[in-house]
Structure 1
């Protein structure tokens, strides 16, 4: 688990942005397509609720994009601190996250 939720806040912002700009649908419509409740989508978009990789893949499919397109990119100033915030037990994921971010 991350020591901070910056990753999930930025991921949620990206999901909301694409939902609003690309699909132009409400949280309720997106929730129905994703098989979740509207409050869950609201919490995900605010970074309050973590999502599984399966949910990430499903959201990307609904949005008509690749899952890696939703991952916050390394060009953001907080990406390095995000990777550094991973606990030692999650070190095997650092390379994978870096690759997804396009670093």
Structure 2
């Protein structure tokens, strides 16, 4: 189970940094302190289920995209250079919004 929370925390960190947001800003936006965000990103603090939607909203990603794949597969974004991930996440988020508008 620890690996699950570590992977979740890594996804939160990647989404946060892609937006240029620091831990304090994310914490304030979701109602947690900076230390909690740090612990979540390191997999040391578990998150209540309803917080998944808070994180998704603030980080401008679909909540399920923060969840690790059940079979342990890595995210395709992991294969991109760090400086291209934010751009790719924005493109995907915009495509998902357009798809929902349909």
Deviation of residue 64 (structure 1)? 1.1
Q: State the alpha-carbon separation in 1 of the partners of residues 60 and 6 from structure 2.
A: 21
Name the SS of the counterpart of 1:10 in structure 2. helix
Separation in 1, partners of 2:69, 2:38: 22
Q: Deviation at 1:76?
A: 2.6
Match of 1:10 in 2: 7
Distance, in Å, in 2 between the alignment partners of 1:67 and 1:53 is 10
Post-superposition, which runs of at least 4 consecutive aligned residues in structure 1 deviate over 3 A?
A: none
Q: What residue number does 2:33 align with?
A: 37
Which structure 2 residues correspond to residues 5-84 of structure 1 after superposition, within 5 A?
Answer: 5-21=2-18, 23-74=19-70, 76=72
Q: Cα RMSD between the aligned structures?
A: 1.6
Instruction: Identify the structure with the greater helix proportion.
Output: 2
Which TM-score applies when normalising by structure 2?
A: 0.67
Gaps of 5+ in 2: 75-102
Q: How many equivalent residue pairs?
A: 74
1:98 alignment partner in structure 2: none
